[in-house]
C-alpha cells in the first residue's frame, strides 16, 4: 500500500533531508519512526530534498507500506503513533492513500519556496529566530523586483546551482517576486517567493545571494543578469536558515503517471531555443 504524507520540520538541527550515516536527518528520523511502529523496514521518497538548515512547511513524501491491520489501518492513528517517536522539530501532518500512479518526486508539477530576510534582528519578531537572514542594511524592494523577473522562464541555472552528475541545471521558473511580509510575526521582514517545476542544488540560495549582492551595492545589476547568458562563477550563497519549502503542487489524479514520465526525461540545452 502506497501512502502520500505531508510533513513539516524545523531544519535547524537536521543535516538536511537525505539519510546519512552518523548524521541526524529528516528522512532518517521519519524512516526510523515508521519502521519502529510497523515493525518492518520502511523507506520513503520525497518531493524535493532540502539542505542542512532548510525548513519545510508542507513537504510531501510517499511510502510503500506492508499490509496494515487493526488500529494501524487508520492512517491518522498511524501518523500520531509515528509523531510520538519523532522529535519536536518534525511532524507528520496528514497521511492518505496515494492515488494510482503517484510518485512524490516525479509526479510533482511544482515546488514553492519562500526566502525571508530582515534588515536587522531588532527590526523583526524574535519568533522568527532561525527562519530569516539578518542583514545589516535595508535592501531596496523596487530594485529587487527589477531583478526577479529575469529569473522567470525555462533557463539553464548553471551559474546558480551546484552541478549534478548525470542531471541538468535547466529549470522552468513560474513565479519569482519580492514583497513585504504581512502579519504581526512577519512585520519588518521581506520575503522572496519562487515557484518552479523543480530546483537544482542550492539554486534558491544562490539566486537570493546574487540579488542581495546587487542590492547591497557590491555588484551592478548587469553582473546578475549576465549570469543567465553563460556559465559564470557562483554568486554568494544565502544562509540556509532563511529558506522554507512552502508547498508542492500535483496534477489531478488521472495525470499523475503521465507527469512522472515527463519529469523523468532529462532536459537538454536545445530546449532553451535561441
Q: What is the mean pLDDT of residues 88-92?
A: 97
Predicted pLDDT of residue 266: 75
The CATH label, of 3.30.70.580, 3.40.250.10, 1.10.357.10, 3.40.50.510, for the domain at 2-97 is 3.30.70.580
Q: Tell me the per-residue pLDDT of 134-143, one tens digit each, with 9 for 90 and over.
A: 998 999 999 9
Active site residue 51: yes
How is the chain classified by DSSP, letter by letter?
Answer: -EEEEEEEE-GGGSS-SS--TTS--HHHHHHHHHHHHHTS---EEESS---TT-EEEEEEEEEE-----GGGGSHHHHHHHHHHHS-TTEEEEEEEEPPTT--TTTT--EEEEEEEEES-GGGS-GGGTTSSEE-SS---HHHHHHHGGGG-EEEE-GGGSB--TTS--EEEEEEEEEEE--STTTTT-EEEEEEES---BTHHHHHHHHHHHHHTTSS-HHHHHHTTTS-----PPPPGGGEEEEEEE---GGGHHHHHHHHHSPP-GGGG--
Q: Which of 51, 89, 140, 249 is catalytic?
A: 51
Domain boundaries along the sequence of the chain: 2-97, 110-249
Q: How far apart are CA 68 and CA 254, in angstroms?
A: 26
> 71: exposed, middle or buried (C-beta count within 10 Å: 0-12, 13-18, 19+)?
exposed
Check for a shared fold between 2-97 and 110-249: yes
Weakest-pLDDT range from 104-113, 144-153, 194-203, 221-230: 221-230
pLDDT at 274 over 60: no
Q: Tell me the per-residue pLDDT of 198-217, one tens digit each, with 9 for 90 and over.
A: 999 999 999 999 999 999 99
Predicted pLDDT of residue 232: 76
The CATH label, of 3.40.50.300, 3.30.70.660, 3.10.100.10, 3.40.1000.10, for the domain at 110-249 is 3.30.70.660
pLDDT at 39 over 60: yes
Predicted pLDDT of residue 174: 98
Selected residue with higher pLDDT from 231 and 203: 203
Q: Please count the CA atoms within 13 angstroms of the CA of 133 that sit on its side-chain side.
A: 24
pLDDT at 194 over 90: yes
Q: What is the mean pLDDT of residues 4-30?
A: 97
Amino acid at each position: 500500500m502506497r501512502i502520500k504524507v505531508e510533513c513539516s520540520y524545523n531544519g535547524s538541527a537536521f543535516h538536511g533531508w537525505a539519510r546519512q550515516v552518523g548524521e541526524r536527518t529528516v528522512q532518517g528520523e521519519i524512516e526510523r519512526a515508521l519502521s519502529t511502529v510497523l515493525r518492518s523496514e520502511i523507506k520513503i521518497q520525497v518531493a524535493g530534498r532540502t539542505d542542512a538548515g532548510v525548513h519545510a512547511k508542507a513537504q510531501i513524501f510517499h511510502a510503500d507500506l506492508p499490509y496494515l491491520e487493526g488500529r494501524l489501518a487508520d492512517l491518522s492513528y498511524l501518523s500520531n503513533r509515528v509523531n510520538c517517536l519523532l522529535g519536536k522539530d518534525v511532524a507528520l501532518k496528514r497521511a492518505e492513500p496515494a492515488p494510482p500512479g503517484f510518485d512524490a518526486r516525479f509526479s510533482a508539477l511544482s515546488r514553492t519556496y519562500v526566502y525571508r530576510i530582515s534588515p536587522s534582528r531588532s527590526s523583526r519578531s524574535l519568533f522568527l529566530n532561525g527562519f530569516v537572514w539578518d542583514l545589516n542594511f535595508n535592501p531596496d524592494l523596487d530594485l529587487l523586483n527589477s531583478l526577479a523577473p529575469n529569473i522567470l522562464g525555462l533557463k539553464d541555472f548553471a551559474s546558480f546551482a551546484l552541478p549534478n552528475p548525470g542531471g541538468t541545471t535547466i529549470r522552468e521558473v513560474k513565479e519569482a517576486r519580492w514583497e513585504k511580509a504581512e502579519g504581526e510575526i512577519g512585520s519588518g521582514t521581506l520575503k522572496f517567493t519562487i515557484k518552479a517545476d523543480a530546483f537544482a542544488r542550492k539554486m534558491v540560495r544562490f539566486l537570493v545571494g546574487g540579488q542581495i549582492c546587487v542590492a547591497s551595492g557590491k555588484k551592478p545589476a548587469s553582473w546578475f543578469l549576465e549570469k543567465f547568458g553563460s556559465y559564470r562563477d557562483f554568486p554568494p550563497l544565502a544562509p540556509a536558515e532563511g529558506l522554507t519549502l512552502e508547498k508542492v503542487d500535483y496534477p489531478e489524479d488521472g495525470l499523475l503517471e503521465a507527469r512522472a514520465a515527463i519529469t523523468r526525461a532529462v532536459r537538454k540545452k536545445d530546449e532553451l531555443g535561441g
